[in-house]
Amino acid sequence: MSLAPGATIGILGGGQLGRMLSVAASRLGYRSHVYEPGDAPAADVAHAHTRAGYEDMAALRAFAGSVDVVTFEFENVPANALDLIGALAPIRPGVEALAVSQDRLTEKTFLEGLGLGVAPFRDIPDLAALRAALDALGTPAILKTRRLGYDGKGQVRIDGPAAARDAFAEMAGADAILEGFVAFEREVSVIAARGPSGEVVCFDPGENVHAGGILRTTTVPAILSASLRTDAALLAGRILNALDYVGVMGVELFVTGNGLVVNEIAPRVHNSGHWTQLGCAVDQFEQHIRAVAGLPLGDGARHADVVMENLIGDDMDRLPDHLAAPGRQVHLYGKAETRAGRKMGHVNRLVGR
């Protein structure tokens, strides 16, 4: 069953991803209803905005009752909110994908169970476990909180056993895992989509450059052999099928001498997929809306070489140059205040222009 024009898509989370999902929904004739406790860049372009917390059961009930399907732009939606919503409206992608990706230990265990390469990892309930894990995995290694980490937050690199105590203290009591260090050649990601009847479409892998844990640029095409390109699409398909997934997913990968290692999965549209707005007939946002609305998935073939650059904090000073240059597509998120480390927008640039 596909949603008819005029139907309403509920979006949990009102940041830039929700904003671009709302625009895509409206282009396909749908309305969007954004649920976001705080300021919501998405609310400017949505049909409705519920400004309420995830513990506000009455607001969640009213929201779920007023939409035809619910999706989300971030993976840390509290479980009790999902339970309540799920009883009233379909949630796409499903709750299982959220549960898997909310916890790094569950996520790594799931990926390993599919036979995919992941960094060696250990559960770290206490300092003794950390010492034992450092012994087993060696250094450098990375200690990460199991939950609520993003953009490099909640993680600390450990360069030798002597640093164990301080690193453990930095977790501030949060559950953690230790990951062995992957000596990768480059980081790539594949943005994949799956429809309700199981069809899968992958966008071309992009190469990602991070600074300070935050994505700076994505370049397509990535430098990647044909066989690794195929591997990336096949492994993304395996993940989506195993979760009976509906929607777009971002799969972050390390390219190593021994093939691809999955770093993490994001059960949503992904910053490293923004290049599709300039490089494909159907971008990741439209693809996600098509999937959750039950429409046929679009053509994800790449028709141009593109560099996506995030505009973070002071990068906004270069906005006039971006606007004046040919072959550039500027996306701004409508955030009033520019702050260091804050994603304010992005620029998609045609390579060679």
Write out the residues near ligand AMP by the rule CB under 6 A.
119, 142, 149, 152, 179, 181-182, 187, 210, 213, 252, 263-264
Give the separation between CA 208 and CA 187, rounded to whole angstroms. Answer: 5
- Closer CB to ligand AMP, residue 16 or residue 263? 263
Cα 207 to Cα 198: distance, rounded to the nearest angstrom: 27
Tell me the longest C-alpha to C-alpha distance in the chain: 61
- What letters, b where the CB count within 10 A reaches 16 and e where it falls short, cover 188-212? bbbbbbbbbeeebbbbbbbbbeeee
Q: How far is the CB of 216 from ligand AMP (least distance, A)?
A: 11
- Minimum Å gap between C-beta 179 and ligand AMP is 4
Non-local CB neighbours of 195 within 8 Å, separated by 6+ positions: 246, 290, 291, 294, 296, 297
Task: Give the torsion sign (CA, 86, 89, 90, 94).
Answer: negative
* Cβ proximity to ligand AMP, 223 vs 325, nearer residue: 223
Name 141's bridge partners.
158, 180
Shortest distance, CB of residue 277 to ligand AMP, whole angstroms?
22
Minimum CB distance to ligand AMP smaller for 152 or for 259: 152
Instruction: Find the shortest distance in angstroms from Cβ 99 to ligand AMP.
Output: 18
For residue 23, the minimal CB distance to ligand AMP (Å) is 27
Q: What is the CA radius of gyration of the chain?
A: 20
Q: Of the two residues 37 and 181, which places its CB atom closer to ligand AMP in the complex?
A: 181
Beta carbon nearer to ligand AMP, 264 or 315:
264
Exposed (0-12), middle (13-18) or buried (19+): which is 319, by Cβ within 10 Å? Answer: middle
Nearest approach in angstroms of CB 308 to ligand AMP is: 16
CB of 30 to ligand AMP, least distance (A): 31
CB 274 within 8 A of CB 21: no
Q: Which is nearer to ligand AMP, 208 or 284 (CB)?
A: 208
Phi, psi of 216 (to 5 degrees): -100, -55
In this complex, which beta carbon is closest to ligand AMP, that of residue 74 or of residue 328?
74
172 class by beta-carbon count within 10 Å (0-12 exposed, 13-18 middle, 19+ buried): exposed
